[in-house]
Amino acid sequence: MNTPVYLDNAATTPIDPEVIEAMVAVMKDDYGNPSSIHAHGREVRTRVEEARKTVARLLNVTPSEIFFTSGGTEADNMALRCSVEDLGVKRIITSPIEHHAVLHTAEELEKKGRVDLDLVRVKPDGHIDLEHLESLLSDTSKGKTLVSLMHANNEIGNLLDVDRVSEMCQKHNALFHCDTVQTIGHYPLDLEKVKIDFIACAAHKFNGPKGVGFIYISNRNKISPLITGGAQERNMRGGTENVYGIVGLARALEIASRDMESKIAAISDLKAYMIQKLEEAVPGISFNGDAKGRSLYTVLNVSFPPSKISEMMLFRLDIEGISASGGSACSSGSDIGSHVLKTLGVSSDRANVRFSFSKFNTREEIDYVIEKLRELHT
């Protein structure tokens, strides 16, 4: 192919042209500070609040429950840290395969003596052991609990049964924080029907801009800001709003919701096609997580059989113009490997590559990738 193939959409997605158009219009015409009370400021404030209403409508919540952030990491930190600080949380239950925005934050809070930390077991296929979660929740001796589990794992794509976890948390009077960074814009989520206390979102995962996201905070919970220094976001996040990013986020979520059904069908077909072609082209190949089952349709984590190019797989793919990401369970040099694959016990002598798809990928690109992988393994 004459053009590079981008299959690292779980890391970030290309911005949709319609989103760029919406952002450029604001950049050109709406330059006031949204906190200013004059006409220029009021116009920009209107843009921010319109975006908030759009996000709220698409999640079936009230605008007062949506707060814009710099992205998913800030939102995750805000949920965990403020739950401890303001809601009396004494224990956090999470898993060893969570994003580090959650896992490292929980570990830091434990190290400082702020909370007890319990890790729920993970099954061999990468799914959370919900029976073990029930057992942990049944122990009420450690005080008020926050459960923090992601909707879809960013490395292997496994999906969490959020409805069941929500029911468990309600049964045991626990708070539920769900990192939905990989699923917002990809699956419908009605927060009126499924009770979650906090969710985190990042716009660049669904063809929006980088550096902007939001946290949903249920009106059931009242917390203080994580970032102070201003009255922005209704006194919940200090700092001048990223207006262009916020407008882009809302437009990207609108587009993602509008096209969701067709996008799911098209990308699911692409993932299934790649699985089929990989199994035909590379003997001994396997897949990490539950790739053919309850799994995110945009993510495929592939485990290649041991070979002389295992340690250089990503480099060789990059030379061929193919962008993907690693998931090696081994540790070499500055690469400490994947904590997710290590938890699953994936062999360190295999090359593990995450291919992740977007609506802009094609079968022609998959065919090219398969051709190059076949060449590398012959």
List the catalytic residues.
Answer: 330
**340 closest CA partner among 122, 68, 108:** 122
Strand, coil or helix: what is 268?
helix
Q: Which residues contact 282 (CB under 8 A, 6 or more apart)?
A: 304, 305, 373, 374, 377
Reading the block at residue 214, the tokens are 């939001």
Look up residue 48 and give its amino acid.
Answer: V
Whether 184 and 260 have beta carbons less than 8 Å apart is answered as: no
**40, 124, 259, 262, 358 from 265: Cα distances, Å:** 43, 28, 10, 5, 12
CB 226 within 8 Å of CB 77: yes
CA pair distance 301, 297, nearest whole angstrom: 11
Give the residue from 79, 358, 30 showing the smallest Cα distance to 208: 358
Alpha-carbon distance 84 to 207, whole Å? Answer: 33
